[in-house]
Structure 1
Amino acid sequence: MSEVPASAMVLAAGLGKRMRPLTATRPKPLVEVAGKTLLDRAIGTLKAGGVTQLVVNVHYMADRLEAHLNAREKQLDVRISDERELLLETGGGLTKALPLIDADPFLSINADNIWIDGPVGATQLLADRWNPQEMDALLLMVPLARANCHGGPGDFHMDAAGRLSRRKPGRVAPFVYTGFQMLSKRLFEGVAVEPFSMNRLWDRAAAEGRLYGVAHQGLWFDVGTAAAVKETEALLGVL
């Protein structure tokens, strides 16, 4: 087995507008699903894989998130990337946090999804598939047919070698991005700290043939809306 990166970025700064009214009184990562916050579930996925350093970006209700992390994560090296003054989106948030991230490559995980490991854990799966000579970004994918609580038409096509290409407008693609990825810092060279989506860097990597995916072997739940919280709880209850 390949070594799992020791460092991971947890993307936790979003406004959680699609999660209202649950996010009227708490940041989205602190919404509970079956008695456990989304943030704790994401961190649990990373800890199970051997991650020891977390960088967490904060914006909406940042003090609540920091207090939660200070109270819960005593054994991890937790660093805060502060976006209180300007929300930087996924790409900008990762770019700003790079100086705090000690590993290269490193992991990045969204705080509004739930992963349940299959025969090979999600973190180990990414580490085992990573090839720095071939890729700058490796995305954990799930087949559209197994994308629980996800109503979209899919995100990517994946060829036999794992290279990813975008879904064409008006079409359906067989794979959905799960919010978990492994990234090289090379991908961010020359990139300014400003608000932008990771889609910009993924498209650049894809154009260079350096955007890859690997299929998740377990279960995945897209918990991006208040309705999805109830649906996910119902599905988790029958596992």
Structure 2
Amino acid sequence: MKAMILAAGKGERMRPLTLHTPKPLVQAGGKRLIEYHLEALAKAGFTEIVINHAWLGQQIESYLGDGAQFGLRIRYSAEGEPLETGGGIFQALPLLGDEPFLVVNGDIWTDYDFTQLKQPIKGLAHLVMVDNPAHHPSGGDFYLDQGLLHDAAAGADNLTFSGISVLDPKLFAGCSAGAFKLAPLLRAAMAKGLVTGEHMAGRWIDVGTLERLAQVETLLTAGQ
């Protein structure tokens, strides 16, 4: 199974750090955020990685190179303009092949074991869900019922999408090149009972702000 790391975001809420550094190369615990993913993917047995990028993307390529230092083979999908999650994955499909592939957001930190996802999926997508974080307490994206995911509903135990998933290329059937979101594709597949999910119990932080970057630093320092 191949894996894709989404690294095209501009990281505007993390300025000034991201004015001259792409968010995946911001450091936490003495290491770049994207390195935690690469090390975890290599440990889980992944060997082929695709990384998309836009803002200051050449820095990512220059720093990571071909991935040999991680025991990986990295290929890049450069976006002239950000294509959003759906459009970015769609552009990278020729590099990802015809089989389901793992996708992970480049701006999260987690101790999730990616080995668990190296298995066939039932349907078009499998999403890893987490408890709603403090910055998204009453929200939630989808709810999990007997292994299937459904669109968020009032009164349901809605959970937040972790940014970790396995997607089948068929999810993008009929799509066209350009910028588009992933969520509408997922919701359309959910309506057909084609999206499974799991509730993750491990540690996870959406590193979208300087405050949450500090949370990662605290966790990593405590774990040393």
Q: Same fold (TM over 0.5)?
A: yes
Checking the alignment, whether the CA contact within 8 Å between 1:107 and 1:182 is kept in structure 2 is yes
In the alignment, which of 110, 128, 131 is matched to residue 143 of structure 1?
Answer: 131
Distance (Å, rounded) in 2 between the aligned partners of 1:236 and 1:230 = 10
In the alignment, which of 5, 12, 16 is matched to residue 10 of structure 1?
Answer: 5
Q: 1:33 corresponds to which letter in structure 2?
A: A
Matches within 5 A, 1:46-195: 46-70=41-65, 73-74=68-69, 75-83=71-79, 85-102=80-97, 104-117=99-112, 121=113, 123-128=114-119, 130-131=120-121, 134-144=122-132, 147=133, 150-152=135-137, 153-160=139-146, 162-168=147-153, 173-195=157-179
Q: 2:77 corresponds to which letter in structure 1?
A: S
State the Cα deviation string for residues 56-114 of structure 1 (Å, max 9, x = none). 1111001111101117644322111010x221110000000000113611111111111
State the Cα deviation string for residues 123-156 of structure 1 (Å, max 9, x = none). 222234x43xx31010111223xx4x64342222
Q: 1:81 corresponds to which letter in structure 2?
A: S
Checking the alignment, whether the CA contact within 8 Å between 2:66 and 2:74 is kept in structure 1 is no
Secondary structure of the residue aligned to 1:22 is coil
Residues 39 and 51 (structure 1), Cα distance of their counterparts in 2 relative to 1, 3 Å cut: same
In the alignment, which of 185, 191, 198 is matched to residue 207 of structure 1?
Answer: 191
Distance (Å, rounded) in 2 between the aligned partners of 1:41 and 1:103 = 27
Q: 2:48 corresponds to which letter in structure 1?
A: Q
Checking the alignment, whether the CA contact within 8 Å between 1:126 and 1:140 is kept in structure 2 is no
Q: 2:118 corresponds to which letter in structure 1?
A: A
Q: 2:211 corresponds to which letter in structure 1?
A: A
Secondary structure of the residue aligned to 1:192 is coil
Distance (Å, rounded) in 2 between the aligned partners of 1:224 and 1:172 = 26
- Unpaired segments of 5 or more residues in structure 1? none
Distance (Å, rounded) in 2 between the aligned partners of 1:150 and 1:139 = 20
Determine the structure 1 residue equivalent to 2:15. 20
Deviation of 1:235 (Å): 2.8
Q: 2:100 corresponds to which letter in structure 1?
A: P
Q: 2:150 corresponds to which letter in structure 1?
A: S
State the Cα deviation string for residues 136-193 of structure 1 (Å, max 9, x = none). 010111223xx4x643422221002x11112237x77442211111011111112111
Secondary structure of the residue aligned to 2:170 is helix
Count how many residue pairs are aligned between Structure 1 and Structure 2: 221
Deviation of 1:214 (Å): 1.1
Distance (Å, rounded) in 2 between the aligned partners of 1:58 and 1:175 = 28
Distance (Å, rounded) in 1 between the aligned partners of 2:219 and 2:83 = 33
Residues 47 and 217 (structure 1), Cα distance of their counterparts in 2 relative to 1, 3 Å cut: farther
Please tell me the root mean square deviation across aligned C-alpha atoms, in Å. Answer: 1.9
